[in-house]
Amino acid sequence: MTSTSGNIVQDNQNGLKYQLKSFEKIPIKFWENPDDGALHIARYIALCIRQKQQDNELIVLGLATGSSPIKIYNELVRMHREEGLSFTNVVTFNLDEYYPMQPDSNQSYVKFMNEFLFNHIDIKKENIHIPNGNLPMEFVENFCQEYEKKIDFYGGIDIQILGIGRTGHIGFNEPGSWLTSRTRLVKLDHLTRIDAVKDFGKEENVPYRAITMGINTIIKARQVFIMAWGTHKASIVQQTIEGEITEMIPATYLQNHPNVKFYLDAAASSELTRIKTPWLAGICNWDDKLIAKAVIWLSLKLKKPLLKLTDEDYINNGLSELIAEYISAYTLNIKIFNKLQHTITGWPGGKPNADDTNRPERANPTKKRVIIFSPHPDDDVISMGGTFLRLVEQGHEVHVAYQVSGNIAVHDTDAWRYAEFMGSYTKAMGLDHPELAKIVGKVTKFIDKKQANDTDIKELRMLKGIIRRQEARSGAIYCGLSDKNIHFLDMPFYETGGVRKNKLTDEDYALITKLLNEVKPHQVYAAGDLADPHGTHRVCLDAIFEAFDRSKDQKWWNDCYLWLYRGAWHEWPIDEIEMAVPISPDELMRKRKAIFMHQSQKDHPVFPGEDTREFWQRAEDRNRATANMYNTLGLAEYEAMEAFVRWKF
């Protein structure tokens, strides 16, 4: 007997609840690549602008800031420059602004909008509206009312662009916001403030408040595009799209909007039922990957080792289709068990003289040339320190390449101490270095006077970069490398002195391409971690992909495996892991020591995210969790494991 309420089917016999196929309450559009999604929105906006121009009408756009819409603005600017798209009939209202905030501050949304859009198009200044974060408190309420009136005056918003915060906020409507809320001064959620640290440098610099359009203001827009890109949004996206409407996740109010579309990339949609457990959502197109995912899910859900799963377990959990296909649980269990077993290897560079049919890496050549790309100077040891140590010990020619200087992540106090040290040491040694003394003086004076919004001067950036460089060098030497195999690329896209980075250019690609073609690697390791809060990992990976693409005609290219590891925040889902390298308790301790070499990132890193654990703790917890998961599935019990996925071009 089953009963249906909304999308939930209640099976009265066994008390199980299943969700039916269509339980997404906001229409979604998937994009392999977020850039393509952004281009699609930009082109749609351009079309609407042109249509209104033909009718001699204004179009009112509701605009967002943050990382999500940047590509939309880039494309609109390009269309203005190259395709003559005019914005003279466009009126804009921005969602929000921090309060208090000077419009010329680096973090102001006024500056953001000018930099990414308004300075580059022909919009009329009087048509631009952004909440004023610079008003005395007693004028704020009145300003907010006027903002609403202005939106009404222009006939309401035609197209509203939204990002989503990890709290589920749209605009800065944080959990607890009412459906009827209008433009107003609000308090920012703690998580939102933590996420904003990347823009403000320190948590204490992040304002506690903001002025935001209300939910009611947003929901009245005739058309809404909401976007989420990246793994860090996956959980809130799932709750927003599949959960009940609740003021605790204000984005869920959009479920009732008649003309809304959620644009998502693969990473942001990964928690949706139709992606994560599609067998619960309806009919599946079963392939080997999906079967493995389902069986592993079942085993973890029931906390039963793979080899103990029964026909009944499959049938009672929506997987009877699989049993029909495989005749019995037994055959299926063995198949998946073996698949997982074959991912485990203590020989990440391949086991010499062994049959490698079922091993993740080739046995030959027995001594491989390996490059470990580390986006920041500590990602190598944090993410794959155990594997790094093994590769060196097993006699491979290992190189490590630090892609960016990481200079923005050094505390001023640390840099000050090093600068003072340099000055005192040269003095103590009786060396007279007037030039050095001048630079030390300049750096320490700058730090003493530095304000929250100041960008570091070149000399300080250099000093901070060197601090990180020496730490990375110590870590790599500790792992057994010599200087000739340690490469610092200092990719130029990173060197802005601020959190906002430049675009990748040929110079960045050339640095990586050159190294690849010099070393001619058999194995490359790179950070495939798309959840990095700065996005730097993502850019670094894109640069590697491009460099591989540019090296296609090289002989080494055909014989090179690219392995992706993940950074400090997330691990690969167990069903996606293609190589799991066990780490013994002793190796784990050595990995910890290698991480300790990064003193500037210890205790309280500049960009800690919301996780209060230190990097070595995150790394160990994560590596232990992976080992535990293998063990729960019925495989051997290891202390810890590092995991990799092979990227196939």
Task: Report the catalytic residues.
Answer: 174
Decide whether 37 or 350 has the Cβ nearer to ligand F6R.
37
Of 186, 190, 150, 2, nearest to 62 by C-alpha is 150
For the bound state, the minimum distance from the C-beta of residue 440 to ligand F6R, rounded and expressed in Å, comes to 38
Structural element, H or E, at residue 586: helix 585-596
Query: What pairing do the DSSP bridges indicate for beta strands 260-265 and 28-31?
Result: parallel
Report the residue number, 233 or 566, with the smaller CB distance to ligand F6R: 233
Q: CB-wise, 339 or 537, nearer to ligand F6R?
A: 537
CB 109 to ligand F6R: min, Å: 6
Question: Which is closer to ligand F6R, CB of 169 or CB of 618?
Answer: 169
Smallest distance, ligand F6R to C-beta of residue 65, A: 4
Nearer to ligand F6R, 96 or 361 (CB): 96
Q: Strand order in 159-162's β-sheet?
A: 28-31, 260-265, 223-228, 159-162, 59-63, 90-94, 128-129
* Nearest residue to 348 (alpha-carbon basis) of 315, 306, 396: 396
Tokens of 350: 């391949």
Q: How many CB atoms lie within 10 A of CB 463?
A: 23
**CB-based contacts of 626, cutoff 8 Å, min separation 6:** 571, 574, 577, 580, 640, 641, 642, 643
Position with the least CB separation from ligand F6R: 163
Could you tell me which residues come within 8 angstroms of residue 195 by beta carbon, excluding any fewer than 6 positions away? 165, 166, 533, 610
> Checking DSSP bridges between strand 260-265 and strand 223-228, what pairing results, if any?
parallel
Closer residue to ligand F6R (CB): 128 or 577: 128
Residue with the two structure tokens 């599609």: 278
Pairing relationship of beta strands 8-11 and 2-5 according to DSSP bridges:
antiparallel
Query: Considering beta carbons, is residue 165 or 423 the nearer one to ligand F6R?
Result: 165
Joined together, the tokens standing for residue 545 give: 């992909």
Separation CA 481–CA 73 (nearest Å): 44
Shortest distance in whole angstroms from residue 465 CB to ligand F6R: 26
CB of 219 to ligand F6R, least distance (A): 14
What does each C-alpha distance from 265 to 35, 228, 647 come to in angstroms? 9, 7, 18
Q: Spell out the alpha helix ranges (H) of 479-505.
A: none
Minimum distance from residue 95 beta carbon to ligand F6R (Å) = 4
CB 72 to ligand F6R: min, Å: 11
CB atoms within 10 A of CB 17: 10
Whether 295 and 309 have beta carbons less than 8 Å apart is answered as yes
In the numeric block, which tokens belong to residue 224?
Answer: 């809404």
- What is the radius of gyration, based on Cα positions, of the chain? 27
Which element (helix H / strand E) includes 579?
Answer: strand 579-583
Minimum Å gap between C-beta 123 and ligand F6R is 18
Q: What's the min distance (Å) between Cβ of 377 and ligand F6R?
A: 25
- Strand ordering across the sheet containing 2-5: 2-5, 8-11, 17-19
Nearer to ligand F6R, 95 or 401 (CB): 95
Can you give the binding site for ligand F6R, defined by CB under 6 A?
64-68, 95-96, 163-165, 169-172
Q: What is the 3-state secondary structure (H, E, C) of 330-356?
A: HHHHHHHHHHHHCCECCCCCCCCCCCC
- Do residues 645 and 384 make contact, with C-beta atoms less than 8 angstroms apart? no
* Cβ-based nearer residue to ligand F6R, 181 or 345: 181
